[in-house]
Structure 1
């Protein structure tokens, strides 16, 4: 039986959960005056995304949209006639460009002739398509070969990302969000707080007067957001951005009710930020300790993620492994050498000359 505080909130792993259970898929729950939590189904093992509907006079604002599937559209149709009671969407806000967050933003905007709000980098990322075509390109194959995958495995990775679920509907205009901007919705002011690492310029929404934070994927309870390096930018250092964003989010008070994109809303924001930072620091230490001898990314992935099921899990796990390796290389504590098209990583000799991180070629 779960431990409860004096308000009857569940206490688990240092966090406090006001609701013991999430609504069923497709159902809506009120979490504050004018703020409603919609549990949208997803066709994966992570079987849901939390969307938020904000009352705005005689209309509504949607925060995130769900994936580009028929099931998503069916749930939205139920919401339009149920909670919204025929009242229109006045705007769509996308925290970031990922397909479960922006998948049907274009459809909603077209249906209601309403604007879509998101940051510039997220809007641009919608148009940086995943690789497409009948066969993977040389650079895609080389990326996975350098990590230790054979051509057949790399081909499986390629086919995994071709799924139409990962392709949000595009839209031709947007309203730009910047750090510190305010959205006034239904008499409540939501301030934009930008995070990075999981995506280029993720917009969280903070209602200071009401102690609410719509955190998207930037802060999740229980699970961790993907911070990964992929074939489109193999030398990226997203973990550095992620850890800096954790510090940035500490400017938001610990007392807020966090409304995340997955799992349940919770209190104790700063405790969760501490946990997320510790999680990645532990992975960095483990990876470095494994590299007393040269190791491939595939070997390191098996250490950091010993239990995986399927190519999609491997795709995400390799991306996380490379993010940690790239961070350590930028710090100067890990070196990388290529032999026969395969990268191997090793703890850097402290007496070896350091490389200048500004040298990119």
Structure 2
């Protein structure tokens, strides 16, 4: 079944599972949410960013599938990023459904979106330490404040989802799996009976998921992501339903491609540090921002994308430091990198 609606797409993508593709106001212009049918009720998996197009999209999706909002029994979140969490409070008000989320992601929601920790001194110092000048730092702070508004209203309450217990939805018993890296405690859901995986943003079809080092977040996100990929490569997966782009059927091949991408990116980061420090001669070693500028085409990036590029660069630089392929020095609060002598 396929139902075309204004700016959204609703389609049954597997038995008892419909995909709701909602628009996003970014270069990555959509997010995949899912409706899973259970008898006379439904579960929503991920919610989209809260803005008018997504509000209209959810109303159109429910109408297209003849779902009364009161039939929504649960709302489940894979992770805390605003394009997945943002509509949770709005949908809870509409449906009365409880919101299920993993413990790590709940703590991140409380810290970042509810408490607004991005304005705290530690977060400001983090970005300053990456090499951001005051103007770019102000832009990043304003941008995150604008994103926070896209997560309101915040849910009235949450239910912590136990990752050690099977979770039934869509007529299947799913095993929750903790899949860190893209987000510290992202939960994905595996059904062994039909080898179906609701994989969140852990593995995507056309792009590599952003693996970033963020204020207050995991200290080794890339290592944890690579460990997760190695574990997920052992699963038998016939169909994986991601948070963006098309379903995945070549699961093991896609994971191998992502692993190779990070090998190449680490080599490029190492080469960039060496080149930047050669060019600086007797100047101070390079910052994460300088490395990011040499790897990514900032001229084509929005401030939103620059923030992600710097966070991803930091994650790779920290990985290289932990492998003792780089040295990190702290100079008046600025993190600088050089090749070991």
1:89 to 1:285, Cα distance in 2 relative to 1, 3 A:
same
1:313 aligns with 2:309: no
SS at match of 1:81: helix
In the other structure, the counterpart of 1:6 is none
Distance 1:74 1:166, change over 3 A: closer
Residue 186 of structure 2: aligned partner: 202
Task: Call closer, same or farther: CA 1:249–1:169 in 2, change over 3 Å.
Answer: farther
How do 1:258-277 residues align onto structure 2 when only pairs under 5 Å count? 258-277=240-259
Cα distance in 1 for partners of 2:119, 2:67 equals 47
Cα distance between partner residues in 1 of 2:340 and 2:13: 50
Provide the residue aligned with 2:168 in structure 1: 184
- Indicate how the Cα distance of structure 1 residues 347 and 104 shifts in structure 2: closer, same or farther if over 3 A, else same: same
From the superposition, tell whether residues 321 and 291 of structure 1 become closer, same or farther in structure 2 (CA, over 3 Å): same
Cα distance between partner residues in 2 of 1:244 and 1:153: 33
Match of 2:262 in 1: 280
When residues 114 and 132 of structure 1 are mapped into structure 2, their CA distance, relative to the original with a 3 A threshold, is closer
Q: Which structure carries more helix by proportion?
A: 2
- Of 235-244 and 124-133, more deviation after overlay is shown by 124-133
**In structure 2, do the counterparts of structure 1 residues 214 and 132 end up closer, same or farther at CA, with 3 Å as the change threshold?**
closer
SS in 1 for 2:108: helix
What is the rounded CA distance, in whole Å, between the counterparts of 1:342 and 1:118 in structure 2?
A: 35
Over the residues paired in the alignment, what is the CA RMSD in angstroms?
Answer: 2.4
> 1: distance between equivalents of 2:58 and 2:228?
32
**C-alpha separation between the residues in 2 aligned to 1:186 and 1:120?**
23
Partner secondary structure for residue 230 of structure 1: coil
Q: 1:333 aligns with which of 313, 322, 325?
A: 325
- Paired with 2:301 and 2:182, the residues of 1 have a C-alpha distance of 22
Q: Identify the range of structure 1 (53-62 vs 155-164) with the bigger mean alpha-carbon deviation.
A: 155-164
Cα offsets for 1:133-185 (capped at 9, x unmatched): 9x955544433333222211211111111104553543243333233422222
From 90, 93, 110, the counterpart of 1:107 = 90
Question: Normalising by structure 1, what TM-score?
Answer: 0.83
Question: Could you state the TM-score of these two structures normalised by the residue count of structure 2?
Answer: 0.87
1:324 is matched with: 316
Q: What 5-or-longer segments of structure 2 have no aligned partner?
A: 278-284
Distance 1:248 1:179, change over 3 A: farther
CA–CA distance in 2 between the matches of 1:340 and 1:126? 31
- 1:200 deviates by 1.5
> What is the Cα deviation at residue 231 of structure 1?
3.4
C-alpha deviation, 1:211, in angstroms: 2.3
Q: Does 1:28 align with 2:19?
A: no
Please state how far the C-alpha of 1:84 moved relative to its aligned partner.
3.5
Q: Which residue number corresponds to residue 70 of structure 1?
A: 52
**Quick one: which of 272, 293, 313 aligns to 1:290?**
272
The secondary structure found in structure 1 opposite 2:8 is coil
Aligned residues of 1:61 and 1:93 also touching (Cα < 8 A): yes
User: Match for 1:300 among 279, 282, 291?
Assistant: 291
Counterpart in the other structure of 2:222: 239
Among 147, 155, 160, the residue aligned to 1:171: 155
CA distance in 1, matches of 2:12, 2:122: 48
Quickly say closer, same or farther: Cα 1:125–1:168, change in 2 above 3 A.
farther
Q: 1:85 to 1:297 in 2, by over 3 A?
A: closer
2:338 match: 346
- Taking the aligned partners of 1:271 and 1:277, their CA distance within structure 2 comes to 10
